[in-house]
């Protein structure tokens, strides 16, 4: 059966209703139409497709993912907090996930140094956590970013939903005091933001003590990810952590509360490649794209892929909906 167009056989196809009628037919032979009618039909179909795509894009812009604050700690310097934080930030950038990262280590501001110019999907801000009241102002600023107001151009900025804070060494007392002032309760109840504590550990007993201490004042009010830094040895060699009876008790208590503690690893990056990135102040992406040292390119690419594979099972605790380990 061939569908004929009675109303417009001698005129133009000029409405979306015409297209709907055509598409509802069992069959349509474009050859039955005059050339100018065929052209107009194709233009209208293209307009509909473009409108549909625009609607989808608008949906993506207005859809706000669940709010998440990722706090990276680990006690003393040198345990690998900054390395993990940079890997996570690179993953967010690769996934085009908007993130606000706060560099609170004023003595060694790695985030500003490496990612200070990656402004499309991430903002890097600095915070002097040791200055009285600064962490309070940081929390207030998070609220303003989650619920933005019109800017000077009368435009509404997109709301932020993912925040990253790396705690500097020796900040335990300040952070503990802030938590004891019911920061976590306020974040959850008033602003619907969940906190994930990422604890980077080495093989020494001090790393285990840091986790135990953190749990003593955070309890089951946060999610936990423990990262074993394989720079310090194979995963099986983290016996002080794995064999700690107190850590096992913490895991059981969290499990009963429906908050499992996740153990993951962070791969070791060859020192030669690490030093090259450090010397040139290159992001992991830039280390992969550079053509000066192919060995470094290969090592960094392998490291980042393994890093992404490790955080994939806990992506929901890091504010990520997906992770493509092949995107660099």
Average pLDDT of each block of 10 consecutive residues along the chain (328 residues)?
A: 42 48 48 63 62 52 77 86 96 95 85 80 90 88 92 91 93 91 92 96 94 96 98 96 97 97 98 97 96 97 98 98 90
Examine the domain organization and report whether 84 and 25 are in the same domain. Answer: no
Number of folded domains that form the chain: 2
Examine the domain organization and report whether 195 and 151 are in the same domain. Answer: yes
Q: Is residue 161 part of a domain?
A: yes
Which of 39, 60, 81 terminates a domain? The answer is 60
Q: Is residue 4 part of a domain?
A: no
Do residues 262 and 225 lie in contact, with contact meaning Cβ atoms separated by under 8 Å?
yes
Helix ranges (DSSP H) in the chain = 16-24, 35-62, 81-94, 110-115, 134-146, 172-180, 183-191, 205-218, 239-242, 245-256, 271-280, 284-289, 294-311
Q: Is residue 133 part of a domain?
A: yes
Q: How far is CA 5 from its chain centroid?
A: 53
Q: Is residue 323 part of a domain?
A: no
Q: What is the CATH number of the domain that holds 87?
A: 3.40.50.300
Examine the domain organization and report whether 128 and 157 are in the same domain. Answer: yes
Cβ contacts of 94 within 8 Å, gap of 6 or more: 285, 324, 327, 328
Examine the domain organization and report whether 255 and 142 are in the same domain. Answer: yes
Examine the domain organization and report whether 34 and 98 are in the same domain. Answer: no
Q: Range of 131's domain? A: 66-317
Do residues 18 and 8 lie in contact, with contact meaning Cβ atoms separated by under 8 Å?
yes
Q: Is residue 137 part of a domain?
A: yes
DSSP lists the bridge partners of residue 75 as: none
Calpha distance 106→41 (Å, rounded): 62
Coil vs helix vs strand at 268: coil
User: Could you tell me the sign of the dihedral formed by the alpha carbons of 23, 25, 27, 30, in that order?
Assistant: negative
Examine the domain organization and report whether 248 and 136 are in the same domain. Answer: yes
Do residues 97 and 121 lie in contact, with contact meaning Cβ atoms separated by under 8 Å?
yes
**Confidence at residue 116, expressed as pLDDT on a 0 to 100 scale:** 85
**Confidence at residue 75, expressed as pLDDT on a 0 to 100 scale:** 74
Q: Which two structure tokens, joined as six digits, stand for 94?
A: 């690769």
Coil vs helix vs strand at 234: coil
Calpha distance 79→277 (Å, rounded): 18
Do residues 116 and 86 lie in contact, with contact meaning Cβ atoms separated by under 8 Å?
no
Examine the domain organization and report whether 258 and 109 are in the same domain. Answer: yes
Examine the domain organization and report whether 50 and 169 are in the same domain. Answer: no
Q: Is residue 324 part of a domain?
A: no
Cβ contacts of 117 within 8 Å, gap of 6 or more: none
**Confidence at residue 328, expressed as pLDDT on a 0 to 100 scale:** 78
**Confidence at residue 30, expressed as pLDDT on a 0 to 100 scale:** 52
Do residues 156 and 148 lie in contact, with contact meaning Cβ atoms separated by under 8 Å?
yes
Examine the domain organization and report whether 113 and 127 are in the same domain. Answer: yes
Examine the domain organization and report whether 27 and 132 are in the same domain. Answer: no
Examine the domain organization and report whether 183 and 56 are in the same domain. Answer: no
The total number of residues written for the chain in this structure = 328
Examine the domain organization and report whether 53 and 163 are in the same domain. Answer: no
SS3 content of the chain, % helix, strand, coil (to 5): 50, 15, 35
pTM for the model stands at 0.80
């Amino acid at each position: 059966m061939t569908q004929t167009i009675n109303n417009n056989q001698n005129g133009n196809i000029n409405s979306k209703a015409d297209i709907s009628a055509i598409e509802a037919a069992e069959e349509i032979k474009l050859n039955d139409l005059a050339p100018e009618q065929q052209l107009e039909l194709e233009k209208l179909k293209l307009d509909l497709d473009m409108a549909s795509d625009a609607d989808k894009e608008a949906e993506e812009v207005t859809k706000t993912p669940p709010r998440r604050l990722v706090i990276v700690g680990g006690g003393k310097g040198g345990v690998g907090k900054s390395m993990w934080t940079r890997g996570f930030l690179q993953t967010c950038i690769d996934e085009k996930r908007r993130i606000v990262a706060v560099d609170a280590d004023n003595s060694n501001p790695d985030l500003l140094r490496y990612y200070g110019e990656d402004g499309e999907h991430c903002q890097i801000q600095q915070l002097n956590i040791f200055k009285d009241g600064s962490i309070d102002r940081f929390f207030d600023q998070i609220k303003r970013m989650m619920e933005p107001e019109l800017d000077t151009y009368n435009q509404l900025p997109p709301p932020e939903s993912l925040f990253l804070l790396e705690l500097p060494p020796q900040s335990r007392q300040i952070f503990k005091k802030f938590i004891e002032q019911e920061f976590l309760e306020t974040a959850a109840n008033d602003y619907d933001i969940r906190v994930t504590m990422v604890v980077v550990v080495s093989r020494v007993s001090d790393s285990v003590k840091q986790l135990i201490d953190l749990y003593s004042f955070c309890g089951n009010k946060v999610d936990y990810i423990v990262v074993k830094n394989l720079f310090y040895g194979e995963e099986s060699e983290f016996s002080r952590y794995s064999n700690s009876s107190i850590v096992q008790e913490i895991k059981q208590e969290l499990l009963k509360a429906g908050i499992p503690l996740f153990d993951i690893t962070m791969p070791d990056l060859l020192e030669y490649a690490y030093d090259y990135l450090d010397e040139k102040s290159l992001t992991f992406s830039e280390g992969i794209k550079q053509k000066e040292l192919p060995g470094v390119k290969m090592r960094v690419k392998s490291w980042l892929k393994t890093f992404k594979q490790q955080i994939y099972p806990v992506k929901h605790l890091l504010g990520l909906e997906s992770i493509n380990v092949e995107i660099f």
